[in-house]
Each structure stands twice: as structure tokens, then as C-alpha cells.
Structure 1
Amino acid sequence: MTTIDSINNWFIQNFGAITTEQVKSWFVYNPDEKLLFNTGLFLGLFLVFYFVYGFLRKTFYLRLTYVILFSLFFYYKSSGIYFLLLLLSSVVDYGLSQIIYKESRDGVKKLYLVISVILNLALLGYFKYMNFLIVTYNDMFHGNFALHNVFLPVGISFYTFQSMSYIIEIYREEIKPTKNYIEYLFFVSFFPQLVAGPIVRAKDFLPQIYQKLNLTKQDVNNALFLIIGGLIKKTVISNYISVNFVDRVFDTPMTYTSFENLMASYGYAIQIYCDFSGYSDMAIGIALLLGFKLPVNFRTPYKSTSITDFWRRWHISLSTWLKDFLYISIGGNRQGSFAGYLFPSLFFFGLLLWGISNYNESIIPLIIAGSSILIFCLSFLLSSKIKQTLVTNFNLFTTMLLGGLWHGAGAQFIVWGALHGLALAVHKIFMEFFPSKKDKSPNFLWRFFSILITFHFVVFCWIFFRARDFETALQVINNIGQLTFEPELWKTIILGYKNVFGLMLFGYVWHFLPESFTNGMKSIFDKTPLLVKAIILGFVYWIVYATAVAGSQPFIYFQF
């Protein structure tokens, strides 16, 4: 017969006794133990939080305040004292938004908007790009400025973009500001999406604050399905592949074979997808349990038939933000701008200097630089509408360059953004030459090769994204370039990493399954009793705990 004592003994044997020091550690910031969705600590704290939340559902401001306090605690556990930076930023942006809304003079409104944007970008620039700017200056002008020991608050890029979109939408008169600071702070600090998105737009989120919370059975089913799927993606697939293979190869690529470098590139492609889409799924699911609907952030991106299609499926909230608040702001496909011409010009000038400076060692860098410039120029010179295409491609390239820089301070991120910008420009001219492909449904063979080419281009770009610096990325690419067909060696490597490659295969099969299969699994899940769903969720968290011996891996996008 099962008794409380037997359950307690089982718990102690499997998880250990809970001490006073452990309990204290739950509420104190530890940079090595962030409060992640895929931890038992979060599950325990969230269950307590959610139990109390149920009693506050009908008390509007008390409920908002309660969620804000938990959100600030959640952020404190991720970034320590820097949760005050979030509060400071929110106070400034809220005050400026009120001034902009009440101001009738266009010039003054624009001035306050510029002040807000500068303050937000200055904070982001200091914490994220200070050392990158110092290193760049020292290299270019032989300076000797010392690097700063700057802490990077988790998710600062996300909540900065969210705050900026709020003020810009008020300036454009697309939304009205919140009635008070509490409502604004709730919007900007909402913990499910605070540190890694999806980036929420005020016009989509704010109306939900004022609606009566009505959590249906289907909402609960959807939420649990997303959370369970997200946990499996992150913990079972992404963490294991990362710790046991991808990280090792990318840390020292030259100590591994060409085949291992190639497989690590494929591995990282599924790792980052499972990591980020897994986090997004959990964030959307947790928000849904609280009565809020967040936007879908991923739609099977590796099924994309073109690079344009890829950016409609990958990190949708970011690509939409970049289009609405950066691409359109610098002219879009209508007109050129100083910024639109400046950043591509600086990039190609720097690329050319890189090619020239390495000419004595190899002519390849110069060929790459010259070819890139030629391809970009041909992308608008071959167009029947040269002027408009030139403007569009320059603005598009600028958007992707800055999008790359948003992800990280380093040459490798800039190159990653530039490659995507160049590919988007090439795809535009391709569609102009073959307009029939835009209107007709492609046959199977065309679709298959389109997906294959797009996928491998994206994987190639991921090498720059994952590498610790530009030189390491080149080492990985150079190593893969020396690949030869050695079946016995490949067999040995595959057997040596059979668990890793098995999970990679599982991840890719899951990703490429028809949508009808996923819907079928969802339908079966919906019909299972709630108790069974809870057991499944508990079992998944047990797997999370069981695999924790490898170390709890932070979500990749936490660094952004």
C-alpha cells in the first residue's frame, strides 16, 4: 500500500532531501542557475504562482500587479540586480509615450520619439556592443582602449524592441497609450515572453489585458500540448545534441574530421530550431494558461522553398518587427535613405579591405569580396525597374545587416545577416525573371530541390551564427571543403555518435512530418483525460531532471 512515507522516501531517494539552504537558493540570484522553463524549480514556483493566480482572475489591478511581481522575480533570477534596468527603461518609455500622445505639434512629437529611440539604443549599445566597438576602433585606428567588464542582461534586445515598437505605434497613432503605468509595465515585463520572445506588439497584446479572462478546455489542451512539445525539443533534442557533439566540434573544429564538421553544422541547424521554437512553444503555452494569446513564432522553417519563404517562417515576430519598424522606416521599396545606402556601402568596403589585406596569403578572400559585390550589383542592374529595385535591395540589405548585428556583437553575425540580405536580393531578381513560379503551384520535383537548396544555404549561414568568431567559422567551412568519401571512417563516426545522430534524425523527421500528422497527434492528445495529460507533463519533467546531469543549458536566444 502506498503511503505518504513511502512517497516521501521515494522522493528523497530520487531527488534528495530539501534543505534550508536549497530553499534560500530558490529566491537568490545565481548566474549559473537561471530560472528556465525547463527546470523543476520553475515548474514548482509556477504551480504555486498559478494556484494563487486562479483566485485573482476577477480582480483586475491586483491580478496585473501579482503577475508583474512574479515577472520581475523571474527576470531577477535571470539577470540579478539588472531587473532594475527594466524598471528604469519602462518608466522613461511610459513617460515619453504619454507626452507624445498628448502633444499636437508634429515636430515636438518627433523630437520626443527620437529621444526615446536614442535612449533605448544607447542602453542596448552600452550593454551589448561596448566591447565590440572598442575592439573595432582599436583594430582600425591602432588604439589602446581597455575592454570593459560589461554584464549583458538577459533578453535586453527583446524588451528594448518591444518598448520601441510601443512608442513608435503611439507616434504613428496606430494605438492609444495604456491608461496607467501598471498596465504598461505588465505589457513590457510579461514573463512568458520577456527574455526570449516572441516579440509582442502592443496593438495585439494590450486589448487582451482588458478582456475578461476565459480559459476554455481547448485552451488548456493547446497550452499543455505546446509546453510538452517545447520541453521535448529543448531538453531531449537540443540540449543533448549541443553538449555531446555540436559544442565540442565548434569549439575546436580543426581537431575533428571534415565529416564531423559537416554533421555538426547539420546538428546545429536542428539544435537552434528545437531550442528557440521549443522556448517559443513553452512561452505561448504558459501565456495561454494565463489567458493570453501570443503570436506563433515558427512555422516549420526548413520546409521553406526560398529564402524569402524562410523569413516568413523563422522567428516571425522578429522578421515582422524588422519589416515594420526598420525596413519601412528607412524607405522600404519606395525611396532610398542615408542609412539605407550607408550600411551596405560600409559592409562591402570592409569586405573589399578584408580581401585585399589577405591577398598575400590567398586570393580566395579577394575573389569572395569581388563576387559578392558583383552579385549584389547585378541583383538590381538586371532588373527592369533598376531604380526601384536598387532602393529595395539596399534597404533590404541594411535591414538584414542590422538584424544580424542585433543577434550579436561580432563580425560573424554581420556576415550572417549580409548573406541573408544578399540571398533575398538574388531571390527577388530570380522571381522577376521567372514570374510563373510565383503564381503557379510548383510540382514535386521543383519543390523538393527548392527546399533542399534553401535548407543547405541556411545551414551554411548557421556556421557563422554558431562559431565563436569569424576565423572559427572559416575553419569549419575550410574543413568541410576537404570532405572526401570514406565509408569506413564515416561508419565509425556514426556508430560513435549513434545517440546524437539518432536524435538529430528524430528532430528532422519531427520537423518535416506533414502538418496533418501533427494535427492528428494533437487530436489524440485533446481526447486524453486531464489526469493523463498531467502525468505526461510530469514524465517529461522527470526526463528533464534525469538529463540534468549534462548541465542545464540556457536557451540560445537568452544571449540576445
Structure 2
Amino acid sequence: MNRIIDIFSFSEEYPLIFTQADFWIFFAVIYFLYALLYRKKSLRSAYLFGISLLFYYKTSGFFIGILLFSTINDYFLGKAIYHSKSITKQKLLVAISVIINLSTLCYFKYAYFFTDSYNYLFQTDHEVINYLAQWANTWSQVDYFTVDKIILPVGISFYTFQTISYSIDIYRKEIKPLNSIIDFGFFVSFFPQLVAGPIVRASEFVPQIRKEISITREEFGKAGFMILKGLIKKMLFADYIAANFMDRVFDVPEMFSGFTNIMAMFGYSLQIYGDFSGYTDVAIGIALLMGYKLPVNFNSPYKAIHCGDFWKRWHISLSSWLRDYLYIPIGGNRSGSIFSYTFILFFTFLGALAIGDYGVAVLATAVVAVLLIFTLFSKRLAWHFNRNVNIMITMLVGGLWHGASWKFVIWGGLNGIGIVVYKYWRKISPYENSNLWIATFWKVGLTFVFITFTRIYFRGNSMDHINRFYQQIATNMDMQNALAVLYEYRLVFIVMAIGYLTHWLPYKTKDWIEAMFIKSHIMIKGVIAMIVAIICYQTYAADFQPFIYFQF
């Protein structure tokens, strides 16, 4: 009984994580109760809303207040948008929703980024103060919250985008507002995907809230398959190779050869895929067990034949969200806008300043400004510029969404450049329309290598850390000891090879494996689950390995 109480109590050191036994005890208890009441729609929503709040409290403590604030705010704004007869008022209310949500996100996620950028730009030494915590301490007359730092609430980037989509979808008349704040709270906080996605749009999930729940044998089998697949991805292909190889290399890249650093980067591509897609697979499986369908978030991204194709396969819920709520509204591939031009000038200046000095920043901004002026006199140049500027903005914002640092902006910008370059390359590529396997192999391989090496800006702790990584590759490859490295970490590289081979299996083979599991007898499913549990336990790292995307 004490174990159950501990599991349902808040612990900063032991949050509920899919890879821990505590979570599955938690889920078994709530699923048993869910099975007794799921036919009663209102009670079902209230129950899952309450459980989701408890789950988030277990993960983030009193940051649950921010989640409730977003829930209450957008519930009433959504109703106001729907009932307003004035288009101008509707737009104003949507703007208020976006501003409140993004301001909350910026306060918690980007306060240090903006402050550091301001200090660097104007040579000041301002420090971040948590005014919200200061106000809470004054109001409660207890110094409970720390005022000298701002802690990022888990999952705030995910549920903020969900609540924004709700207001915009109502404005676009794609959905009607929910009549119950409990139903809306359930949509915002649904616990399987709350802290690391996938990002669920209101138009996709809201229609499911009041439907009749009926879980078929096929859906039950698919849910089990997704959960087991997700655990293998996370615990075997992500955590094992990270704990036994990559973390050691990335901590001190200068202590390892350039060859070892390169192998660590290829390992990191598998780790981050296994970690993030593993989480979403488990989330999709758990949701399906309760009768709800979450969107697919990954589609074999390392089979992509170019950078744009990669972003149609990787973190699909974010890529499609940015496309529909940012890229298309600011002009898409048709035209630029005042926002587009202002944004690109601003980020050109700050980005150049981050990697150079004022002279470099002014020169880079002047070049872009002159290019913009030329577009006024050349329709062809304007067409090319407008087609690509919005892609770059979307990828820069996507990079900044992942982390409040210029290295993430650079990472997003590199991916944007990759997309733009391919748009022109495909017009002259001699193998663009070739169906030969060697052409496909080349395109997939080139895309994979490009994506892998841009990820050093994602994984590196700082720009200095990233520079040390590249310095080792440039000056100390030490190829004569490459075989010794492969042998020393042979188990890690075997796991990596298995991970990539399973990823590159044909879709027909993967579908056949899934279909066989779904059709199998319940006893066979149980045996497979036990085997997976044993494998995961044997590779379980002693150190706690949180999901990478929890930090976003």
C-alpha cells in the first residue's frame, strides 16, 4: 500500500516515466477504474482530466497552475470567438489567445535567451528575475518559490501549441467550441501525450471526446504492439547506446578521436529517434487502449530522400502545425509579407552577431536589405526570394521551438538551407527521376549524413563544445585506431546496426510483423511482452534517462 501511495504522490526525483515500473503500476490502477466507467461520457472526461492533472503534478509539481491557466484562458476565449458576430472582434480575440499563450511560453522558456541576447547586443549585465515567483511569495507570505531563476515547466511547448490551435480552428470554423470546460481540460491535458507530444490539434481530438468508446481486438493488439515497440526503441536503441558510448564521447569530445566523434554522431541520430519516436509510440498505444487515436508522429524519417522529405516524416505533428499555422499564413510559397521581411532582417542581424561581431552583423543585414530592395524591381528575383524566405522563417522558428539558444536557431537554419538548396538542385540533378536502387541509396545516404551532422548543434552543450567536436574531426581522425574503437564498443555498434537495419526494413515487412502480432493469441502476446520486458531490463541504465524532448 505504501508503494501505491508513493506512486500517486509528487516526487521531484521520481516523476512518472514510461520506462519505469511505477508508471505501469499507476496505469494499471487507473485503467482498471477506467474500464468501470468509460461508457459514461461526462464521467469519463472528468476522470481522465483528473488523472491527467495528477500525472502532470507528478511530473511538474506546482507548475500545474500554468497548465490550468492556459486551459481556463483558451476555453473562454474559444467561446467568445465562436459567438462573436464581428470578424474584427474574432481576429482580436484570436490575437489575444496567441499573445497570452506565446507570452507565457516566452516567459518560462526564452527569458534567459532574450536577456543574454540583449546583454550581448547592448553590453549590459541584466539578470533574470522570476517576477511570477516573487509575486507568489509575496501573496502567500512564504518564500516557497525560487526568484533567482526560471524553471521550464515540462511539456509547455506542446500544450501551448495545442491551445493555440483550438482558438484558431474555431476562428476558421473547423470546429465548434466545447460546451464543458472539463472536456476542454481533458483535450489539453490528456496524459499520454501531455509532456512530449505528439502535438494534438483540436480539430483532430475534440470530435473523439464525446464518441462511444469501443475497443476492438485489433485495436487492442495494435496498442500492445505500439507500446512494446516504443519501449524497445527507448530502452534498447536509445538509452543503452547513450549510456555506454555517446554520453562519454559528448561529455569530453577532445578526449576521443575524430572517428569516434563521428560514430557518436551517427549513434545520436539513432538515440534521438529511438527516444522521441519511442515515447510517441507508447503514448499512441496507451491512448488507443482507452479508445482514443493520436496522430502519427514519425514515418521512417531516415528513409527520406531529401531534407524536405525528412521534415514530412520527422515530428510530423510539429512540422504540419508550423506549416498550417505559420508557413501558410505568412505567405507560404506564394508571397512574402511585412512580417517575413522584418523577421528575416532581424534574425540575420542577431544571428550574424551571435557568431561574429557588429561589423559582420551589419554587413550581413545590409546584404539581405539590398536583396530585398532588388526584389522591388525584378519580379523573377522577388518570386525566388518569396518562395524561400518563408521556408527559412518556419525552420528558424522550428529550431527556436526546440530550445532557447542560438545553436538551435543555427540548427533550424541549416535545415532550412538544406530544403532550399534541394529545391534548386532537383531541377538539374541527373538522377532526380531515376528509379535505380543506387540513386535512391545515394539520396537517402546523403540526406541522412546531412541531418546527422547538423544535429551537433542540437546535442552540443555550447558553441565551444560544438567547436571542440569539429576540431577533433578536422585535426585528429586517428583512422589507424578505428578498428580498435569498433572492437572496444562492439556491443554498442551491434545494437546500432540492428537499430538502423530494423528502421530501414521495407514497409511491407514492418506491416507484416505488426499484423502477425495483432493476430496472435493472447498467450503469445504475453510471452512476447515478457521477452521484451526482460531485454529492456537487461539493458536498463543505472542512471536515470529522461526523454530528450521533456526539455522542450
Under a length normalisation based on structure 1, what TM-score does the superposition of the two structures give?
Answer: 0.89
CA deviation profile, 1:132-153 (whole Å, cap 9, x unmatched)? 1111111221212123411111
Over 3 Å counting, the alpha-carbon distance change for 1:389 and 1:492 in structure 2 is same
CA distance in 1, matches of 2:185, 2:294: 17
CA deviation profile, 1:199-224 (whole Å, cap 9, x unmatched)? 11111111122221111111011111
Residue of 118, 121, 124 corresponding to 1:137 = 118
* 1:26 lines up with 2:19 in the alignment: no
Q: Which residue does 2:467 correspond to in 1?
A: 474
* 1:556 lines up with 2:551 in the alignment: no
CA deviation profile, 1:422-441 (whole Å, cap 9, x unmatched)? 1111122223445993xx45
Q: Which residue does 1:12 correspond to in 2?
A: none
Q: Is the contact between residue 254 and residue 479 of structure 1 (CA under 8 Å) also seen in structure 2? A: yes
Q: Is the contact between residue 411 and residue 469 of structure 1 (CA under 8 Å) also seen in structure 2? A: no
Q: Which residue does 1:272 correspond to in 2?
A: 272
Over 3 Å counting, the alpha-carbon distance change for 1:260 and 1:125 in structure 2 is same
SS in 2 for 1:409: coil
Q: CA deviation at 1:184?
A: 0.9
Q: Which residue does 1:447 correspond to in 2?
A: 440
Q: Is the contact between residue 40 and residue 541 of structure 1 (CA under 8 Å) also seen in structure 2? A: no
CA distance in 1, matches of 2:340, 2:501: 40
Q: CA deviation at 1:398?
A: 0.6
CA distance in 1, matches of 2:215, 2:507: 26
Q: CA deviation at 1:348?
A: 2.8
Residue 472 of structure 1 aligns with an amino acid whose one-letter code is H
SS in 2 for 1:44: helix
CA distance in 1, matches of 2:64, 2:431: 53
CA deviation profile, 1:428-456 (whole Å, cap 9, x unmatched)? 2223445993xx45322221111111111
Residue 421 of structure 1 aligns with an amino acid whose one-letter code is G
Q: CA deviation at 1:547?
A: 4.0
CA distance in 1, matches of 2:509, 2:251: 37
Residue of 52, 65, 82 corresponding to 1:71 = 52
SS in 2 for 1:295: coil
Q: Is the contact between residue 89 and residue 120 of structure 1 (CA under 8 Å) also seen in structure 2? A: yes
Q: Which residue does 1:233 correspond to in 2?
A: 233
Residue 435 of structure 2 aligns with an amino acid whose one-letter code is P
Q: Is the contact between residue 275 and residue 547 of structure 2 (CA under 8 Å) also seen in structure 1? A: yes
Under a length normalisation based on structure 2, what TM-score does the superposition of the two structures give?
Answer: 0.90
Q: CA deviation at 1:241?
A: 1.4
CA distance in 2, matches of 1:484, 1:41: 44
Q: Which residue does 2:324 correspond to in 1?
A: 324
Residue of 440, 455, 461 corresponding to 1:462 = 455
Q: Which residue does 1:536 correspond to in 2?
A: 528
CA distance in 1, matches of 2:385, 2:348: 15
Q: CA deviation at 1:356?
A: 5.0
CA distance in 2, matches of 1:452, 1:492: 25
CA deviation profile, 1:268-325 (whole Å, cap 9, x unmatched)? 0000000011111111111111111111111110111011110111111100000000
CA distance in 1, matches of 2:368, 2:429: 23
RMSD: 2.6
Q: Is the contact between residue 257 and residue 477 of structure 2 (CA under 8 Å) also seen in structure 1? A: no
CA distance in 1, matches of 2:356, 2:113: 23
Q: Which residue does 2:104 correspond to in 1?
A: 123
Residue 535 of structure 1 aligns with an amino acid whose one-letter code is V
Residue 244 of structure 1 aligns with an amino acid whose one-letter code is N
Over 3 Å counting, the alpha-carbon distance change for 1:435 and 1:55 in structure 2 is farther
CA distance in 1, matches of 2:309, 2:59: 34
Q: CA deviation at 1:385?
A: 4.2
Q: CA deviation at 1:538?
A: 3.7
Residue of 395, 416, 421 corresponding to 1:421 = 416
CA deviation profile, 1:230-258 (whole Å, cap 9, x unmatched)? 00000111011112221222222112211
Q: Is the contact between residue 333 and residue 389 of structure 1 (CA under 8 Å) also seen in structure 2? A: no
Q: Is the contact between residue 249 and residue 256 of structure 1 (CA under 8 Å) also seen in structure 2? A: yes
1:41-56 matched pairs, under 5 angstroms: 41-56=22-37
* 1:340 lines up with 2:376 in the alignment: no
* 1:404 lines up with 2:404 in the alignment: no
1:180-219 matched pairs, under 5 angstroms: 180-219=180-219
CA deviation profile, 1:537-560 (whole Å, cap 9, x unmatched)? 244334444444522311111111
Structure 2: runs of 5 or more not aligned: 129-147
Q: Which residue does 2:249 correspond to in 1?
A: 249
SS in 2 for 1:313: coil
Q: Is the contact between residue 243 and residue 541 of structure 2 (CA under 8 Å) also seen in structure 1? A: no
* 1:494 lines up with 2:486 in the alignment: yes
CA distance in 1, matches of 2:431, 2:384: 19
CA deviation profile, 1:348-374 (whole Å, cap 9, x unmatched)? 334444565499xxxxx99xx89x989
CA distance in 1, matches of 2:105, 2:343: 19
SS in 2 for 1:173: coil
CA distance in 2, matches of 1:225, 1:162: 27
Q: Which moved more, 1:537-546 or 1:331-340?
A: 537-546
* 1:91 lines up with 2:66 in the alignment: no
Structure 1: runs of 5 or more not aligned: 1-18, 360-364
Q: Which residue does 1:516 correspond to in 2?
A: 508
Over 3 Å counting, the alpha-carbon distance change for 1:397 and 1:70 in structure 2 is same
Q: Is the contact between residue 233 and residue 278 of structure 2 (CA under 8 Å) also seen in structure 1? A: yes
CA distance in 2, matches of 1:189, 1:252: 39
Q: Which moved more, 1:499-508 or 1:538-547?
A: 538-547
Q: CA deviation at 1:193?
A: 1.1
Q: Is the contact between residue 412 and residue 473 of structure 1 (CA under 8 Å) also seen in structure 2? A: no
CA deviation profile, 1:326-363 (whole Å, cap 9, x unmatched)? 1112121222123212333233334444565499xxxx
